[in-house]
Structure 1
């Protein structure tokens, strides 16, 4: 018993010392004017449930809250330090002098209460800032200088009961909170507009006062909108233009019916071919002018693509220019088009603008190397075109576009969201394709280098095909380092290098994105250290024993949780092990692929229990 007491005492003491170091580190970034003079490492911040340091809330000898109110404090709130307080549940900095934008509290997943009222915080609050903070119950941001719209991520917090936003500069409409969600709510003295959501109609009038353009219960009913004379004139003009456009379309279609069949085949739908042909025309101005046909005319139709796949029906630049085309997207590296050739083939043409540091011979050699790739889960490059300033890569069109579209764009595009068996099949296919690339392209440090959901294309049967692989050697390094996924890995952020395990990190992020339906925020970071582990930290916290039901982690559109929860959780764990920040601790690709292959669609009841995950 004595020995047990000594062990427990030692554990508590070590925990307190750890909390002390964390808080002292926090103190370094705060201007306190002596208000935090009791924060010294000569004694721990907590003694059981009693605090030894001012402004600290304690429970069982550990810090559960930081309550620094009315102290005249300023400076910076170091969230990276605060997140090390694993038992932190309350953070209150009310009535101080903190300014600037709202700290990135997204990292403090376990917080239940936030009190930042009465400071000088300002600016627009990012829409995603509260995303994933499912334990939050109370948010007090009153009497600051926040502007912009109220973040929509607030409506995703299931336990939110208090939201105090009065005396700021918020504008726009009030989010549609669910009925009974909020017990205490105040947006008075802002610049809110529109109708108050019915779910908030029972609140006191004072909760909405000082917003002159706000209406609806409990305020006065919203009056029917009245159009000014100027607005009426604009509407009339727009209607007239629409009618004129409709007449023009009718004329074009009627003329098209009168065309000979051969001539009609080369005409694309109005408004769709123009962007594609114009882009390619501009791209070819320099080259085509020097390539003359025998009759002295420009030889655009004679400009040949270099085909990498044997047995493919050949076509040239002229065929692409004549194709019925639509733009699929425009990104950092260039534009992507779908081109429907006269023969019925549907091709994807990707135009790259940032490969101009590679010489002709080097580019051709690398493309031929990629052209030898042959795997059921790797999208082959059909053909390419080289010009010093710009390049074209041509692929087969995949009917179901990309995994990103189905995870994040299904609600707007009307496509079904993939269920659990489909997602598992996709991840298994991706891991097989990635393993193949590692064997086929062993000299590349990151054989894929740009692995993300938008580069996982899906065929008619939802089988995954890896795209945009092996491009690091030919993309301009400044662009690659700023935008390619490999350069957003922890090892590049910390040490300025990528490793053989960098694609494994990308695979882990892809697994977590696929299972949660959440887009990794790190993919938006450009050039500076970001929160590349946000999604990882959130998943780790949510599945930690005693913190939350793992069901809350899974994308609600995935289905089949009852009979597959254990296997789904197993895949989550694989994703976390692939996302280990320390490269030495991260799984290598071979182990990741083997573990993924072992995941089944349904649980084996003898194998699964609900004890939580361990890394």
Structure 2
């Protein structure tokens, strides 16, 4: 055996150390350094050096040592960003407000890309054909460049996940009649040279999305005709949403709804809107102020009368320092000793601890709340077991068999994001459902309860976790018993309960099958437009709409049907449909004003908030056909949270991640 001298041993160790160090260098280091060398002539990116880990460089975010986010806005960079196409794990790329020129490089290697912002540069050439390889792309912004040629409809239509397409301020020509991207929420092709008929799929966007295309016609612009009396004013209207272009076609000072547009030291201020409003006459301003004072006085009087009446009723019912919860001295459940009482039986599901009806009668009961299907109670049995009992009222039940079959289906649904149905009781005049009791209350109280000084707000991480859990629970309901196409039917924040570990659990699912048309629960803004007339005609798509409204409630901190002037200058006051209010604010490009003020204390969450907002808007679109399936919503939310989605989840249309399924036999079909 050869014995090495100490100095040779040290040299060998250093050689192996540096050799291994180079071997473990990030594969993204070389493309980033090549990009800096080619584009950063003014050495703005001075911190980018070969001796440091790129994951610690400014403007970069990493997952598992791979760059997934690169935001370089206003860095005075130029030339081409071709070297960046080697960042194969990149999900977010924003190079806005730089000096990049020439054709947009081949992007086909960036298959993980979801957000791409290249606006306000000097790119030339045609629409990049390689974009069609970006099948996961949600947002594409190529506005205010020097691009030309036609907008290839057949290629753009392949981007089925696309939510935003901004192409304004270029030199595109030709027609857009073939464009049809089903999930598109944000669209603008103004200030180009487009011509022909606007397709029906795009007619719902405002006039400002098509302005300054002299030969473009059709809704929302004037209808197409052989002669245009004034081609320089295509569809001007005093009621239209303000154009994003200022005088001379220059971009106004607005805040885009992209996740990289939030300033680091605060939220955007609407100075431009205030400037426009200063052009009103003095008399008009005085009239507006007087009108506002009168309206405020009237609203104050109405609110005073309303709360005075309610407080008077409560004072007549309660005395002293009685707590909010109503504790009954006697059981609210059916009394088997009453004359003519038809005694039923308690039916328990597998795994539930059994007890008799008499045990429930002796239990101390505490009312938890009233809903559209009845009253819920907390019941403490003699043995200390605590359950939640729902006493059903005003239900359309054709008979015992009809009720039992539905309960058999619901009782077999077991999932970590559902409140398990433990048992049910059926008699002619009494119907009871027994559930697991959730100690941490519901989402409504956590989100809206006790707002003000000293309140601990619901943090962003918890909100996102609740959104993901509720989505998984709803997706499981939809994927179970496919032959029955089960629905929840009553998605709202009071039906999202929180267990001891902080997980969201859906309650009250499946009860809409027994709803009466006249007594179907009014879900306070959650109800889908197509289901507003008859609460019994609910579908899985209407569930998706309700879930979208729930997400908007989590993001805005507002109740779904009440949006007051806390919107700060959005122009809306009073009772407004929450999805419509959010859409109006986003179209005005004041997306930051959508979000709950309580979320402003948290840093580096803008991208996630905007991402969840996009999901919510897709879910709550008016057309049922344009709403995604819940299993796809689960996938989008999990990707937003940075949770890796299994390949089987991505390829199987009806799969639900880590969710057990219920067989057709368990559905009770044919029983």
Unpaired runs of 5+ residues, structure 2, are 1-147, 151-170, 175-192, 196-211, 245-253, 255-269, 305-311, 564-573, 644-671
CA contact (8 A) 1:522 1:532 kept: yes
> Which of the numbers 498, 507, 521 marks the counterpart of 1:467?
507
> Which of the numbers 236, 242, 248 marks the counterpart of 1:63?
236
Please state how far the C-alpha of 1:472 moved relative to its aligned partner: 2.5
Structure 1 residue 483 and structure 2 residue 515: aligned? no
> Which of the numbers 241, 264, 268 marks the counterpart of 1:86?
241
Please state how far the C-alpha of 1:138 moved relative to its aligned partner: 6.6
Go from structure 1 to structure 2 and tell me whether the alpha carbon gap of 1:275 and 1:161 turns closer, same or farther (over 3 Å shift): farther
Cα distance in structure 1, aligned partners of 2:597 and 2:387: 34
Structure 1 residue 323 and structure 2 residue 363: aligned? yes
Query: 1:182: which partner in 2?
Result: none
What pairs with 1:416-495 in structure 2 (closer than 5 Å)?
Answer: 416-480=456-520, 483=522, 488-493=527-532
Q: Once the two structures are superposed, what CA deviation does each residue of 1:55-92 show, in whole Å capped at 9, x if it has no partner?
A: xxxxx7653635xxxxxxxxxxxxxxxxxx33389xxx
Unpaired runs of 5+ residues, structure 1, are 23-40, 49-59, 67-84, 90-109, 111-131, 144-159, 176-190, 195-237, 250-267, 293-301, 524-530, 603-615
CA contact (8 A) 1:504 1:579 kept: yes
Q: CA RMSD in A?
A: 5.1
Q: What SS is found at the alignment partner of 2:614?
A: helix
CA contact (8 A) 1:376 1:433 kept: yes
Go from structure 1 to structure 2 and tell me whether the alpha carbon gap of 1:535 and 1:43 turns closer, same or farther (over 3 Å shift): farther
Q: Once the two structures are superposed, what CA deviation does each residue of 1:335-392 show, in whole Å capped at 9, x if it has no partner?
A: 2222233333332221211224331122122212211111111101122221334422
TM-score by length of 2: 0.49
CA contact (8 A) 1:571 1:596 kept: yes
Go from structure 1 to structure 2 and tell me whether the alpha carbon gap of 1:565 and 1:335 turns closer, same or farther (over 3 Å shift): same
Query: 1:395: which partner in 2?
Result: 435
Please state how far the C-alpha of 1:422 moved relative to its aligned partner: 0.7
Cα distance in structure 2, aligned partners of 1:270 and 1:18: 54
Go from structure 1 to structure 2 and tell me whether the alpha carbon gap of 1:192 and 1:549 turns closer, same or farther (over 3 Å shift): closer
Q: Once the two structures are superposed, what CA deviation does each residue of 1:431-478 show, in whole Å capped at 9, x if it has no partner?
A: 111121122232344521111111110012221011011112233344
Structure number with greater CO (CA < 8 Å, separation at least 6) is 2
Cα distance in structure 2, aligned partners of 1:164 and 1:532: 21
Query: 1:611: which partner in 2?
Result: none
Please state how far the C-alpha of 1:429 moved relative to its aligned partner: 0.9
Go from structure 1 to structure 2 and tell me whether the alpha carbon gap of 1:437 and 1:345 turns closer, same or farther (over 3 Å shift): same
Query: 2:552: which partner in 1?
Result: 512
Query: 1:340: which partner in 2?
Result: 380
Query: 2:599: which partner in 1?
Result: 558
TM-score by length of 1: 0.53
Query: 1:73: which partner in 2?
Result: none
CA contact (8 A) 1:307 1:383 kept: yes
Q: Once the two structures are superposed, what CA deviation does each residue of 1:561-607 show, in whole Å capped at 9, x if it has no partner?
A: 531211221111111122222222221222212111111269xxxxx
Q: What SS is found at the alignment partner of 1:382?
A: strand
Go from structure 1 to structure 2 and tell me whether the alpha carbon gap of 1:587 and 1:485 turns closer, same or farther (over 3 Å shift): farther
Please state how far the C-alpha of 1:498 moved relative to its aligned partner: 4.0
Query: 2:339: which partner in 1?
Result: 289
Q: What SS is found at the alignment partner of 2:388?
A: strand
Go from structure 1 to structure 2 and tell me whether the alpha carbon gap of 1:245 and 1:548 turns closer, same or farther (over 3 Å shift): closer
Cα distance in structure 2, aligned partners of 1:501 and 1:519: 21
CA contact (8 A) 2:423 2:433 kept: yes
Query: 1:407: which partner in 2?
Result: 447
Go from structure 1 to structure 2 and tell me whether the alpha carbon gap of 1:560 and 1:569 turns closer, same or farther (over 3 Å shift): farther
Cα distance in structure 2, aligned partners of 1:289 and 1:569: 60
Q: Once the two structures are superposed, what CA deviation does each residue of 1:303-337 show, in whole Å capped at 9, x if it has no partner?
A: 75322243415243x43343333222223322222
Go from structure 1 to structure 2 and tell me whether the alpha carbon gap of 1:12 and 1:565 turns closer, same or farther (over 3 Å shift): same
> Which of the numbers 580, 591, 608 marks the counterpart of 1:537?
580
Q: What SS is found at the alignment partner of 2:420?
A: coil
